[in-house]
A and B are shown apart, each in its own frame.
Chain A
Amino acid sequence: MYKVESATRLADRVYEYWIRAPQVAQHARAGQFLILRLHDAGERIPLTISAVRGDTVRVIFMAVGKTTEELAMLRAGDSIKDVVGPLGKPSEIETYGTCCVIGGGVGIASTPLIAKELKSAGNHVIGIIGARNADLLILEDEMQEVCDELYITTDDGSKGIHGFASDVLKKLLEERTIDRVWIIGPAIMMKVTSGVTVPYGVKTYVSLNPIMVDGTGMCGSCRVTVGGETKFACVDGPEFDAHQVDFTELMQRQRIYTGQEKVSLERFAEHRCRCGEGGGHHE
């Protein structure tokens, strides 16, 4: 069993959990993820390792499906049945020069660790974090601390620059040389934003989030097409050269279980109502 040390609500439906998992914490590097299973009837879901402190690791997630809704109900002191990690290859951290680390929405969760390791490797690190609105923007202080420069964007202009991370990236690329770019966010955001770096020929990494089961290279559920070849995000990734990724296929495969996911979530909501559990318990 893996104990939840703290459970905090960061924004609407967005939660920050610190979980005691020594073997994950001891070995985790930027860009890696873990897989957790809440209980014996649970599914295995991958979540990015967002930070490490002692024997605990942090995950940040949005409650959008049955398992994340159920996870969001756990409080400090509760336990998670299974946690395995770190999984996947770490980010390719080297001394490149100037690097840009971009996070969109809940994808911002991955950015501080990558930015921090890039900074330690001697890079000048530019952060861009974007959200739909000011309320959904997370980890601003943390990114401020680890980046040399930080840009904030919101879709509605309620904070920072009115627009998208891709707008800022484009402007930066016009003004100066950027050697490497990391983009983490929803598939469509990664597709659009990485398109910006193509004309500049800047190597750009995206962290892919396909559906997984074992997460160790055994099942092939997470296969993605990169440069015309089938790759497994869990062992070959999760970070890939953005310009080689077939995002359309990724998004199509993310929708395989849309129907079942709806059934599962509705059933869970009904069950929760019957048990008198409302939402908002983290307030």
Chain B
Amino acid sequence: MQTKNIMIVGVGGQGTLLASKLLGRILLSKGYDVKVSEVHGMSQRGGSVVTYVRYGDKVYSPVIDKGEADFIVSFEMLEAARWVEYLKQGGKMITNTQQVNPMPVIIGACEYPAELEAKIKNLGVDLDAFDALSLAEAAGNSKAVNIVLMGKLSKYFDFTEDEWLDAIEKSVPAKFLELNKKAFALGREA
């Protein structure tokens, strides 16, 4: 099998690392070779962050390059716009419609671009945009956006719901398990 590529993009602090941990765990359990590349250090402080997840028979590079991603899961609208160039022709983009203003916008040096959803779709991108933040809040905590998005992504894989839930159970602290299961279900239904 040719290597498949999933990118997870967002804003430092949004929980992208947990999402990649979950994906890595379930893909490895299915017998794939897997590589996950993360960003630590300075960029994590509210900067634009990206995690690469690659799987297949034999994976070499730990990173995903422009035009290579089969899936991009974005935690924020501007980040979806920033990274859309990494999507493969015919790839799928899933995004939370939440807007988090970057500092240049906050201080008025530039504006948050309008109508990003339409602009991304105009590139011919297969875009699935939805309000994951509200669903996370409905599940009980705004920080569960990562698991809501994984719920959404899970619809495009033929792994069973139990396999996903097992990976969640192994990736989150026990006291947040019920909340995350709920968040996953809401994302999967959305």
- Please say whether chains A and B are actual partners in one complex: no
B interface, CB within 8 angstroms of A = none
A interface, CB within 8 angstroms of B = none
